[in-house]
Amino acid sequence: MKKIISVFLCILTVTSAITLSPLTANAKYRTYKYKNFEYDFAVNTDGKAYDDKINILNYYGEEKELVLPAELKGKKVVRVSVENNNYVESITVSEGIEEITSFFGCSNLNQIKLCSTIKRFEDWAIRNTAYYNNKDNWDGHVLYVDNYIAQIEQRDSQGNLINDLGELNIREGTKKLLYFSFDEHKTGFSKISIPASLTSLPLEWFSDYNRQLCEINVSKSNKKYASKDGILYNKNMTKLLCYPQAKSGYSYRIPESVTTINPHAFEYNNTLKELRITKNVNRIPKTAFNVCLALKAFKVSSKNSRYSSKGGILFNKNKTTLIHFPSKHKKVKYKIPASVNKIYNNAFRFSKIKSVTISKSVKRVCSGAFFGCFNLKKIRIPKTVKRIEAYAFGYGYKYYEESEFNDSDFYIQNLTFIVYKGSAAYKYYRKYAVDKDNKDACFWKVKYIK
């Protein structure tokens, strides 16, 4: 399972990158040089700029005190990189720039001044620099740049992965924790303490890289965030931001004050078995319960006007949308209720389900609905289902061939589709499961309903 989830994370990263890219199929990046800068930006097939954004790829000049500009050739600079330049000793990042890709190998770089718009530091971004090698810039595993946390070291001096980084006590005066990627998802902190000064957190970072996290504590003087019982909320506790992945406890009841659950709030939690949703919760994003591998049941207040539960399964209020089937639900065979007309995004994701019968009332199966259901062997889909979105059943043969992560252990294998010929389910099967040149390569099988 660890191997499966590891591969899933890699695919999710690639999928997210593709989704966030502003480019269409007809737009490509082109590289240019201006003065001492190398840069690129997107152009359409007619040669015209796709948008007004530009990326600085490198600087080849000899300035000791380098200012990375907010604009170049009349375009907004959003991402910057300066590599292997031994002349640069100081870099100032101008207001408006959002991401630092790399200062790697700038051996004499000993001073970095960031702007308030910076959001992301890539892993390894300032390795092999004087700044990185200066112990005064570190506090334990944490590298500070100005008033920001820019990087966290997850390996010891011998290069060995540190599985539990212990406690992260963010020092007072720190304004922002930048999003940066660890090179391993298995590591992380067990406890994080947030000071009054910190007002910017990349919330997805908590779920992406802190599988050991048991507790989050926030200073009472912090004006943006709050915590209670080790759980992270916004200041007035109307938004549940992060329920730690390794927090102990069988059951959790969401406070009455909460109306919104953050998109990554419970993602990758491996301990929680029962979640009680109170009456005022009115927004649950499709990714909120992704890969909650211990979750057995939802219990929703009868007074909630947006959501309901039945048999431990989460629905909208009138039960026309099946929102989430818990990963460790006691049922391994399930028939979708006749009231349901839509199976929501990620509804069964990583569940232990073995067999599903979709009722005739269902019209739509959303993307990711059965992604990662590795025990699923049989699914019966009526012809009344008119729309099945991409990745609804994970990766069939077509996705396996197109993915650079084509490890067959990751895909649902030996799944049998029971469908009507000519139906949407039949077309989905033909499109994504069948290799026209080698039918034996198909992971899925099909049986036809007469």
pLDDT band at 5 (very low <50, low <70, confident <90, very high): very low
The predicted model gives 22-45 an average pLDDT of 78
In the prediction, which pLDDT does 176 show? 84
Question: Quick check: 206 and 182 in contact, CB under 8 A?
Answer: no
In the prediction, which pLDDT does 61 show? 96
Q: Of the given ranges (149-163, 172-186, 197-211, 257-271), which has the lowest mean pLDDT?
A: 172-186
In the prediction, which pLDDT does 440 show? 55
Q: Which two tokens stand for residue 404?
A: 């650079």
Indicate if the pLDDT at residue 104 is higher than 70: yes
Tens digits of residue pLDDT in 340-377: 999 999 999 999 999 999 999 999 999 999 988 989 99
3-state class (DSSP) for residue 286: coil
In the prediction, which pLDDT does 44 show? 77
CA atoms within 13 A on the CB side of 316: 12
Tens digits of residue pLDDT in 237-271: 999 999 999 999 999 999 999 999 999 899 889 89
Please tell me the distance from the alpha carbon of residue 160 to that of residue 181, in angstroms, as a whole number.
17
In the prediction, which pLDDT does 186 show? 56
The predicted model gives 16-23 an average pLDDT of 37
Question: Quick check: 225 and 218 in contact, CB under 8 A?
Answer: yes
In the prediction, which pLDDT does 4 show? 39
Give the closest residue to 343 by CA, choosing from 373, 313, 363, 372: 363
Tens digits of residue pLDDT in 214-238: 999 999 999 999 999 999 999 999 9
Q: Which stretch, 117-126, 153-162, 326-335, 428-437, has highest mean pLDDT?
A: 326-335
Indicate if the pLDDT at residue 422 is higher than 60: yes
Q: What is the mean pLDDT of the chain?
A: 85
Tens digits of residue pLDDT in 380-414: 999 999 999 988 987 654 444 444 444 444 567 78
Indicate if the pLDDT at residue 7 is higher than 60: no
H/E segment holding residue 93? strand 90-93
In the prediction, which pLDDT does 27 show? 65
Indicate if the pLDDT at residue 424 is higher than 60: yes
In the prediction, which pLDDT does 46 show? 72
Q: Based on C-alpha coordinates, what's the Rg of the chain? A: 25
In the prediction, which pLDDT does 410 show? 52
Indicate if the pLDDT at residue 379 is higher than 90: yes
Q: Are strands 387-388 and 364-365 parallel, antiparallel or unpaired?
A: parallel
Indicate if the pLDDT at residue 182 is higher than 60: no
Tens digits of residue pLDDT in 301-313: 999 999 999 999 9
Burial 428-449 (b: 16+ CB within 10 A, else e): bbeebbbeeeeeeebbbebeee
Give the closest residue to 127 by CA, choosing from 153, 146, 149, 148: 153
Q: Which two tokens stand for residue 81?
A: 């990189």
The predicted model gives 196-205 an average pLDDT of 86
Please tell me the distance from the alpha carbon of residue 255 to that of residue 277, in angstroms, as a whole number.
8
Q: Which two tokens stand for residue 426?
A: 């039949």
Beta bridge partners, 333, equal 355
Tens digits of residue pLDDT in 54-101: 899 999 999 999 999 999 988 899 999 999 999 999 999 999 999 999
